[in-house]
Amino acid sequence: MDKDKGKDTSKDKDKDKDKDKDKDKDKDKDKDKDKDKDKEGRLAPSGRSSIRNPAPQQELELKLEQEQEQEMEQEQELAREPQLEQELELVLVRHGHTQWNKERRYLGSTDLPLLPEARQQLSALSDQPALGGEFWRVYCSDLLRCRETLVAVAPHLERQANYDSRLRELDFGAWEGCNYDQLKDNGHYRSWIDHPELVTPPEGEAWEEFEARVDDFWAQLVQEFELRSMDDGMPCLEASKPRVVPPAVVPPAEVSPVPISTVAVPPVPILSSGVPLAPDSPPNPPPPRVLIVTHGGIIRLLLARLTEGVTFYTAAAPAPGEVTVLNLLKDEGAWRMMPREV
């Protein structure tokens, strides 16, 4: 028994020695790790981490996030800045009397001249304040009766005029030159009177085409106005030769297809001017002015587009030779005739 105990004791001693050796090895490993850390610390640049830089994808995502934050800050800054109001004075002139107007016949694309007496009546309008002064733009239907009207009421603006086929009246097709008594028993005509947006005159212009070309004209005018070059707070006037816009792809067009309403839309004045002021310019300069010489149907459609609560059917067509002045204000991205605040 004692011999075995002695053997066991020696075995235990051997085990203890093995444990001590393992501990020594672990200590040596720890020392090696500490040396490696010291080396990394000495190799790493001063003030910088020894950890490797993030992957390129992470750097790109971080850069994009920073750019997005900068864009948001810029947008917020712009939103806090006061926005200048934009104003525009629109002077609309319906052409003078023709023979067909006098006889109450449908007159659309047919190119008739003015009556001789109509020219004399229109010449008297040239003294109206609305037709005096300077205009930023002058537009005119390219049909003869409108061209003659422009010469009669504002001869000094003829060289500045842009003759545009989009400003023609609705084309009544086979009904051109007819009067109500000649068409009142025609079922197609009766349907057109009730729903001109759905029914098209034979060989005439569809309502959607009529609206599309007028809307296209207005969109272009607004775009040019908003991108205009400024001189002393006012748009630069162009004294150039008359420019003629070729006829549109859609058929040419002319007058009001539905019975004229008696609801009048009087011009409504507006308050302040939204034209940016140039240095040393007088306060509250007048808004830019646009003259449009056109037809009754075009004027009614523009009134419907620019006047709150007014439609083509409720807008009153002006009489031949009548002048309508609209003071417009851009409100929430849309141009509207705004009432004066009390």
- Core vs surface per residue 46-58: b (16+ CB within 10 A) or e: eeeeeeeeeeeee
Q: How far apart are CA 139 and CA 161, in angstroms?
A: 5
Within 13 A of 280's CA, how many CA atoms are on the CB side?
1
- For residue 75, give both structure tokens: 């947008």
Distances (CA, A) of 144 to 124, 140, 255, 338: 20, 10, 14, 34
From the candidates 87, 89, 95, 295, give the one annotated as an active-site residue. 95
Give the CA radius of gyration of the chain. Answer: 40
Of 87, 169, 176, 209, the catalytic one is: 169
Q: In whole angstroms, what is the distance from residue 150 CA to residue 143 CA?
A: 11
Decide: helix, strand or coil at residue 63. helix
169 is catalytic: yes
Q: Under DSSP, is residue 330 helix (H, G, I), strand (E, B) or coil?
A: strand
Tokens, residue 164: 């545009």
Q: Where are the alpha helices (DSSP H) in the chain?
A: 2-43, 56-80, 99-102, 116-123, 144-153, 180-183, 187-194, 207-226, 296-306
CA distance 313 to 67: 52
Q: Report residue 217 as tokens.
A: 């004209």
Alpha-carbon gap, residue 208 to 263, rounded angstroms? 24
Q: Which residues are catalytic?
A: 95, 169
